[in-house]
Amino acid sequence: TVNFNGKDYKDRSLRVLVKCGTLSKALTVTQKAVPAPQVGRKLRFMTLNQKIRGNEAIAKMITDLDIDYVAVQEIDMFTDRNNFNQLDSLKKYTGYAGYFCKTIDYGGGQYGIGILSKKEALNTRYVNLTGPESRKLFIAEYDDFVIASTHYTILASESSMCKYHLESAQITVEELSKYPDKPIVLGGDFNTETDKDRAGTFGEIMKMMDLLTDPKVCTYPNVNSDLLIDFLFFKRDERFPFRTT
């Protein structure tokens, strides 16, 4: 049973991190006409490794917590283990807009990552990351915000995995740097720990982003968690002082 805000959610396979922040300063841009976020507007972000569930219980948790943007990992689409569209299921039960990015073909269907949000995105795109298996960075752009979802590789030796993660982090930073005029949140399952990888993956990402995740909160395994491998990041921007609550 997972408990949030005094409510129990009986799905042991769930891995979730939630952050609530307030944009305390409006956006002022002279080069581009970008709509300014409402001053003081509270936004809630979630990164969710939903472990190929895509069910009503997970959707209820998202809506109960009043999440604005969700970076989702491990979505099945008509596979032999889950013969239904899990993203459509989450969209149906949350009432949110939803976007899917296939990473691999699996079991006669597709498997990948996605993004859920309370409003429609202007556009979405993906970028290939490195590793022995297909992994991607999935980006959704909104009129006043950008959110990205990812799931870094794990099918490699420890030394090779560090190399792939660093290369993927460099790609991530390069791609997210293409949105200089908008605040950005990056969420995902990075399959690595900050205490083991500060100079690599996280050092690279934190050149442009702040880590929002509480390092004392563990997310893996799903029961009796003792590792933290799921993270939320926010792009540093002096125009957008960010406060977590």
The model's pLDDT over 30-88, given as tens digits with 9 standing for 90+, comes to 233 445 555 566 889 999 998 888 789 999 999 999 999 999 999 999 999 999 999 99
In angstroms, rounded to a whole number, what is the distance separating the alpha carbons of residues 230 and 23? Answer: 23
In angstroms, rounded to a whole number, what is the distance separating the alpha carbons of residues 231 and 45? Answer: 11
Q: Where is pLDDT greater, at 59 or 159?
A: 59
Q: Which residues pair with 184 in a beta bridge?
A: 146
Strand 42-49 versus strand 69-77 pairing type = parallel
In angstroms, rounded to a whole number, what is the distance separating the alpha carbons of residues 109 and 51? Answer: 16
**Max CA distance (Å), the chain:** 52
| Amino acid found at 121 | A
Q: Identify the pLDDT of residue 24.
A: 30
Q: Identify the pLDDT of residue 220.
A: 85
DSSP string, 23-50: E-S----SSS--PPPPTT-EEEEEEEE-
The pLDDT of 196-202, averaged and rounded, is 72
- Name the residue among 71, 60, 59, 57 with its Cα closest to residue 19: 71
Tokens 């939630």 — which residue? 18
Phi then psi for residue 158, to 5 deg, are -55, -45
Q: Identify the pLDDT of residue 217.
A: 85
Using the predicted structure, report yes or no on whether residue 211 has a pLDDT greater than 70.
Answer: yes
User: Angle between the 86-94 and 56-64 helix axes, to the nearest 10 degrees?
Assistant: 40
The pTM assigned to this predicted structure is 0.83
The number of angstroms, rounded, from the C-alpha of 96 to the middle of its chain's C-alpha atoms is 16
Q: Identify the pLDDT of residue 174.
A: 97
Q: Taking the CB of residue 25, how many other CB atoms lie within 10 A of it?
A: 16
